[in-house]
Amino acid sequence: MVKPLPDYKRLYPWASATLLGETSSINSDRDILRLKKGDQDHLSFSKEHDDKVSVRPCPPGEPIWTDNQGSDDAPFCFVYTTMFKKVKLQFPFTRFERELLTELDKAPAQLHTNSWAFVWAYQIICAHLGHPASVDVFLFLFEAKNPGDRLWVSLNGVAGRSIISIFQQSYKDWKGKFVRVCYSDEDPSLLDGFPLYLVNKGKKDSSFRKARGPEKWESSTRTCAISGKESPPPT
């Protein structure tokens, strides 16, 4: 007997029909196997992910706004497969990635894929320059745009402070293709230090972040000069 779907509208009355309609097409263990061991058109994970990350399919019809309230599910977060395949995101997140998500008060799936690419590129630049990635410096260079009724928060370079060229082409065909990344016995800290579930849109949205002022840049660069270096993100 097929288990009936929960009443998501009752559980998440603040979510619009559009947001509740963002569900995943990755619904079976076979789908996950294709992402891990399939051909290059579907391969999304590197070998390291097979050993360290517990990846599960999403129940059919489950919206991306779901959390683990009212269930026995272990902690998890949703991640779009493009994040692994194109942006080369890896778990556990770097300290900078965790701190940025916490500052923005957003779960990983709420940050637009193009914005994740900015996050990745910034960390590569910092590693090349020999400085730890700083949230204050990043938010001096980029600002987060309030998505309004849309799901995803976009990061845009601040005029006159751009260090990364705009993408010639946006990532495509990634919507509706996300998985659950779950707590792993291999690394109990895998999901520590950042919001796991999407922020309640019924309260005032805190996603809009104006660019930081020069005083934050100066303070952060002084800190970088005397602080230890964090390992660069994997390539």
Per-residue pLDDT reduced to its tens digit, 159-197? 787 777 665 456 677 889 999 998 777 777 888 999 999
Split at pLDDT 50, 70, 90, the class of 84 is confident
* Domain limits, the chain: 15-226
Report the share of the chain in percent with pLDDT over 70: 70
Per-residue pLDDT reduced to its tens digit, 87-115? 778 888 999 999 999 999 999 999 988 88
**Residue 213: pLDDT above 70?**
no
**Residue 10: pLDDT above 90?**
no
Per-residue pLDDT reduced to its tens digit, 127-167? 999 989 999 999 998 988 866 666 788 888 887 877 776 65
| pLDDT at residue 223, as a whole number | 40
Global pTM? 0.79
Q: Which two tokens mark 115?
A: 């914005």
